[in-house]
Amino acid sequence: MSDVSVFHITLLRHGESVGNAENRLQGHADFPLSETGREQARKLAARWKVEGVNFDCVITSPLLRARETAQIIAEALGIPNFETDSLWMERNMGLRSGMTLDEIRARYPEPPFLNPYQSWSEQGESDWELYLRGGQALHKLLLRPPARYLVVSHGAILNKVLYSILGITPQANRQGAHFRLENTSFSVFTYTPHAHHWRVQVIGDTHHLNSQTV
- Secondary structure of residue 83 in the 3-state scheme: strand
181 near 40, Cβ under 8 Å?
no
Distances in Å between the Cα of 1 and the Cα atoms of 7, 49, 68, 91, 175 are 11, 17, 25, 32, 40
96 within 8 A of 121, measured Cβ to Cβ: yes
In a domain, 1, yes or no: no
The CATH number of whichever domain residue 59 belongs to comes to: 3.40.50.1240
- Within-domain flag for 189: yes
E strand map for 87-140: 99-100
Please give the residue range of the domain that contains residue 191: 7-210
Instruction: Establish if 2 belongs to a structural domain.
Output: no
Cα–chain-centroid distance for residue 148?
17
Domains held by the chain: number: 1
Query: For the residues of 149-197, what is the DSSP string, one character each?
Result: EEEEE-HHHHHHHHHHHHT----GGG-S------TT-EEEEEEEGGGTE
| Per-residue pLDDT at 163 | 98
> Rounded to whole angstroms, how far apart are CA atoms 70 and 153?
9
Quote the CA–CA distance of 85 and 61 in Å, as a whole number. Answer: 6
For residues 123 and 102, give the distance between their C-alpha atoms in angstroms, rounded to a whole number. 19
Q: Is 142 contained in some domain? A: yes
- The 10 Å Cβ neighbour count of residue 163 is 22
**Distance between the two ends of the chain, CA-based, in angstroms?**
27
The DSSP annotation for 45-71 comes to: HHHHHHHT---SEEEE-SSHHHHHHHH
- The count of other CB atoms within 10 Å of the CB of residue 196 is 7
Please report which helix (H) or strand (E) contains residue 142, including its range. Answer: helix 127-142
pLDDT along the chain (214 residues), means of 10: 80 98 96 98 98 98 98 97 97 95 90 90 92 98 98 98 97 93 98 97 97 60
Q: What is the model's pLDDT at position 159?
A: 98
The residues that are catalytic are 14, 90
Predicted TM-score (pTM) of this structure: 0.95
